[in-house]
Amino acid sequence: MIKIRFMAEFATIDDYIASFPTDVQRSLGSIRETIHSTVPGLDETISYQMPTMTVNGKNLVHFAGWKHHISMYPLPAGDAEFEKSVDPYRAAKSTVKFPLNKPIPLDLVARIVELLAQRH
């Protein structure tokens, strides 16, 4: 059973990730690494109580672990191919949810971050 501390205060992204079970920690770490390899030089912070990557002090992307999924926010608009690739994960206009019981589509994570960086 996954036990998540809601509304906890975290000083770092490492602290945030460490609060999850090991398998979820690996998924969160993979997303973090993919974001950094896609856009090198991003800064990290905790904003809205979730890991946030920033550029020049401005939020670029957030990700968060939940009981059954990992979410990323915001979701940029993209071409038809991009929209088709995010449809299975779309939870709202600007949110994707990746189920914890399936592999995280890191190529899609990278594409999301690329689009966000282009618009930033």
pTM (2 d.p.)? 0.89
The whole-angstrom separation of Cα 9 and Cα 2 is 19
Residue linked to tokens 């950094």: 36
Domains recognised in the chain with CATH numbers: 13-119 (3.90.1150.200)
The whole-angstrom separation of Cα 114 and Cα 116 is 5
Which residue, among 105, 107, 115, has the nearest Cα to 74 in the 3D structure?
115
Of the pLDDT bands very low, low, confident and very high (cuts 50, 70, 90), residue 1 is very low
Q: Identify residue 75 by its one-letter amino acid code.
A: L
CB 91 within 8 A of CB 71: yes
CB 71 within 8 A of CB 37: no
Share of the chain above pLDDT 70, in %: 93
* 37-59: pLDDT as tens digits: 999 999 999 998 999 999 988 99
